[in-house]
Amino acid sequence: MRILVVTRSYPAPGDLYKYPFVHRRVLAYREAGHDVAVFQPGPKAKASDHEYEGVACRTGDGAELQRFCEEWRPDVIACHGFSETMWELLRRGASAIPVRAWLHGSEIPDFMRQKALVAPQSEREAALDALNVRCNFWDRLLDDFPERLKLVFVSQTSVELARRDWGEKLVPSHYAVIANPVDVELFEYRPKAAEDRFRMLLIRPFDSHTYANDMAVEAIRRLQKGDGAHRLSFTIVGDGPLFEDVLRPLKDLANVSISRRFLTQQEIAEEHRRHGVFLVPTRLDTQGVSRDEAMASGLVPVTNAIAAVLEFTDESCAALARPDDAQGLADAILEMLEKPQLFLERSKAAAERIRSERSNQIVIPRELELLEEAANG
């Protein structure tokens, strides 16, 4: 097939956290023998190109998309970051090509709503205005659902989030549910040793309170009060507008290493090898790809028992605290410190669960089958 990936964001040198999960798909589709091109909508009439790890990404407006489609003649479009502006661009610039649109979170009105409610007051009004625009778009689209379009949800949790606004308008023929894939060759499993449970890793953007980095900070502070605190080490890597404020309480702690930067996926895999516990609290998720990548490497995630997390983990392969419970996160870590065998069992089970449910070898063929079905009409 000739697959055109139209995506709101794509990684670039120096800007690595822009939908890296889309980049992993592009590589996997190519490895499976398909021709894949990447297009990123942009406001400028003059097209531009950038390359990331051997993949060229073109940025341009609707007219450029139309030119690109007429020249390259894709069989199907795989869309990520689907929105009212992207659909308008696809409607005008690629009107005859079937579209499969992945919904990762912010495309879904209730996800936007919950994110707006935990945003700072200064940002909330703009977020709610954007929500209204998104709701109006979906009302119109679902009332006259295009034959060439099919939605792809990454979890059953995200389907239920959508139903809160869409109700019976969302019918089974409109969508499929396929989790995001995990590259288990990149995120290779190497059995952990018991002492790895003392080495903890947090890799996160710091641009939204939904990531709950503040909860991680509070859990780390509470762990400093125990008798064995000197044995613990924490590595924190990330960036974003909340970085300094959220991490300020930890800046003078000797056992906390803080690095303000983004990592390549290869660098993330290297950090996985050096640690045993992945600290990944959350207030809002549709899946949790970074958690799943860490699990693939054998790290035990310490996270919160919200709906999307419970869909993909349980106590056999993760340490779960109640929602918004920093003390619960600390207690979950302490339990594994006291029970090394529990840590080792969870580590092995985490790697096995990813490989049995969400590896590239399982998910990518399902995605390609969906795209081929669309391409064949």
Tens digit of each residue's pLDDT (9 = 90 or more) over 229-269 = 889 999 999 999 999 999 999 999 999 999 999 899 999 99
β-sheet bridge partners, residue 237:
203, 259
Mean pLDDT of the chain: 95
CA gap 217, 281 in Å, rounded: 10
Q: Where does residue 122 rank: exposed (0-12), middle (13-18), buried (19+ CB within 10 A)? A: exposed
Residue type, 18: K
Give per-residue pLDDT as tens, 105-129: 999 999 999 999 888 888 899 999 9
Q: Specify the pLDDT at position 120.
A: 85
Nearest to 29 by CA among 372, 302, 352: 372
Q: Specify the pLDDT at position 375.
A: 96
CA gap 263, 227 in Å, rounded: 33
Q: Report yes or no: 112 and 123 within 8 Å, Cβ to Cβ.
A: no
| pLDDT tens over the chain, length 377 residues | 999 999 999 988 877 768 889 999 999 999 999 999 999 998 766 788 899 899 999 999 988 999 999 999 999 999 999 999 999 999 887 888 999 999 999 999 999 999 998 888 888 999 999 999 999 999 999 999 999 999 999 999 999 999 999 999 999 999 999 999 999 999 999 999 999 999 999 999 999 999 999 999 999 999 998 788 889 999 999 999 999 999 999 999 999 999 999 899 999 999 999 999 999 999 999 999 999 999 999 999 999 999 999 999 999 999 999 999 999 999 999 999 999 999 999 999 999 999 999 999 999 999 999 999 999 98
Q: Specify the pLDDT at position 45.
A: 63
For the chain, domain boundaries: 2-181+359-375, 194-357
Q: Specify the pLDDT at position 18.
A: 80
State the CATH class of domain 2-181+359-375: alpha beta
Q: Specify the pLDDT at position 48.
A: 87
Per cent of the chain over pLDDT 90 is: 87
Q: Specify the pLDDT at position 311.
A: 98
**Predicted TM-score of the model (pTM):** 0.94
Give Cα separations from 43 to 47, 48, 60, 299 (angstroms): 10, 11, 7, 41
Which helix (H) or strand (E) segment holds residue 136: the answer is helix 121-143
Which fold, 194-357? Rossmann fold (3.40.50)
Which helix (H) or strand (E) segment holds residue 201: the answer is strand 199-205
Backbone CA torsion sign across 333, 298, 303, 258: positive
Nearest to 34 by CA among 374, 368, 373, 375: 368
Two domains, one topology: 2-181+359-375 and 194-357: yes
With a CB cutoff of 8 Å and minimum separation 6, the contacts of 313 are 291, 295, 301, 303, 320, 350, 353
